[in-house]
Structure formats: C-alpha cells, structure tokens
Amino acid sequence: MVMTWPKSAGLRLAGGFLVMAVTTTSSEAFEQQSTPTVRVAGIVLKWLRTNKDANIERAEKLIREAAAGGAQIVCTTECFLDGYAIADKSIPLEEYRALGEPVPGGAYYARLAALADELDIHLVAGLLEADGDLRYNTAVLLGPDGSLLGKYRKHKLDHELVRNTPGTEYPVFKTVYGNVGIMICADRREPDLVKQLCTNGADILLCPSGGMFGPQRNDPIVQSRSLENGKHIVFVHPAEFLVTSPDGEIADRTILGDRLEVDAADVGRDVDSSRVFYFELPVKP
C-alpha cells in the first residue's frame, strides 16, 4: 500500500493509479530555482528485530541507492540496526544489552562509517549505543569522510526507561549544508526540546522515528513543530516518509505499508515494503 499526498492541486490517472500533480506559479518556480538545496534521502525500511547483520545488509543496499541518486544527506529510521529491540521486553536483558554498539569503536559502527566514507555522504544512522553499563537510543551523524560529526541520544523514552537511559543534551552538528539538529521519535512531541535545538543553531531538523505514523496520529505533531520554529522537518519511519515545511504544511508525504517490523519469513514479500525517498531541502546560501 502506497499513499501519497503532495501539497498541491491537480489529479490525473497514470498507469492505473490516481496521481496528484503539483503546480507552481512562475514566481514560485523562480524561487525554487534560485534557492540552494541539499538532497536528503530517507531510508524507509522495515525492522528485523535483533538481527543486526540482516538489518545493516538491507539498509546498505538502500543507502547505496540513495547515494547513486544524488543524496548528500541520508537518514535511516530509529534504531534501524537492532530493529528497535527495546520494543520486545521478553528479550533476555543480557541479550538485549549485547546488541549495543560502542560509538565510536563498534564493529557495525565502523562498517557504517566506512560506507559514509566510500559513498561521500553524510549518514544519520539509528542504533542502540553501549556506553559502559548504559544503553542509549542514539542516532549518529557520520561525515563524508567517515568521521563522527556527533551523536544524539533520545530524551523521551517512555516504555524504554526499563532498559535505556535518556539523553540530556541538545547538540547541533556543523556541516557544509548548515547546522543539523536531530530528534528521535517521541522527542518530536516536546515543543521545548525542538525549540532548544533551534536555539542552539539548527538549520536542518531530522527525525529518525519508529512509533506513531500517519496523518491521524503523527503528522499534525510534526507540522506543529515546523510551524513553531519556522523549519523544515524530515521524518523517516519504517512506514512513512514525511517532510513538513516552515509554515506547518505538508511538503512531502508517503505512507509505505502499515508494518514497522517483519519476520525473516516475510522478507521480500509485499508486507516488506521499502523505498528510498528524496527531498530537495532548502538551505542557507
């Protein structure tokens, strides 16, 4: 199931599907042409719970596709690497903790860094971070040379608190395209958190996610954060790619299936829908 809602106005039938066509005025077209942009790609991919080998192999194919498609910033979902294992509390504690990845230093982290370096991209990757005895729901930002530009630890943990530790900082990471601020999933529900990222200088807001999605339960929340801060937000989820604009409108949205997770037996079937989505994000000159 693929549902798309571009922000404008005409309808046409193409290949048996109803498609909405976007139209712009000449002044809008001129503004789009004259405003510098960075091509951001969202890796919309279902999780395989606890299977780091399979998850990184599946994601790598799409990350390579994104780079070949001209993406300069590529963003995965929340905890793509461990398949958001925190959702399953029946996983023995020591098995869960073993899924954690030192940042930097972990073997899978090193593989992601090498991939960013090879493809010459900025890569935002969600994973379970191991820091001594603590575990964090973390998104790392890797530079096009594979270096660690920074990491963000999720603040609002809710059910995760039984095993994970909340982040306490609001880091913003400098890139050639502007300062990148990252929030993870439920953090988007906290106006003060997003405002603090912007106060700290964020030009680009990315939200790797894995919880609520869609126009009823998620999108108005993200739209509100965009409107409050006058910023685009790129939201990347196992079942949705969403971009909201500074005026709080939907700039791009696709719902891709209705599943967040699949079993190994479902890989490659219709329920295992995945895709690379692109958005030309305006940036400061």
Active-site pick, 185, 198, 207, 240: 185
Residue 218, CA distances (Å) to 186, 244, 266 in order = 10, 12, 26
Measured at the CA of 256, the angle between CA 142 and CA 242, to 5 degrees, comes to 55
- Please tell me the distance from the alpha carbon of residue 84 to that of residue 47, in angstroms, as a whole number: 7
- Please tell me the distance from the alpha carbon of residue 253 to that of residue 269, in angstroms, as a whole number: 23
Q: How many residues comprise the chain?
A: 285
Q: What are phi and psi of 62, to 5 degrees?
A: -75, -35
Hey, what amino acid is at 183?
M
| Token reading at 167 | 């982040």
CB 249, CB 225: distance < 8 Å: no
Q: What are phi and psi of 268, to 5 degrees?
A: 90, -10
| Token reading at 197 | 């990222």
Residues 6+ apart with CB under 8 A from 93: 163
- Please tell me the distance from the alpha carbon of residue 56 to that of residue 81, in angstroms, as a whole number: 6
Q: Is 154 a catalytic residue?
A: yes
Hey, what amino acid is at 222?
V
Q: What are phi and psi of 59, to 5 degrees?
A: -70, -40
Which residues are designated catalytic? 78, 154, 185
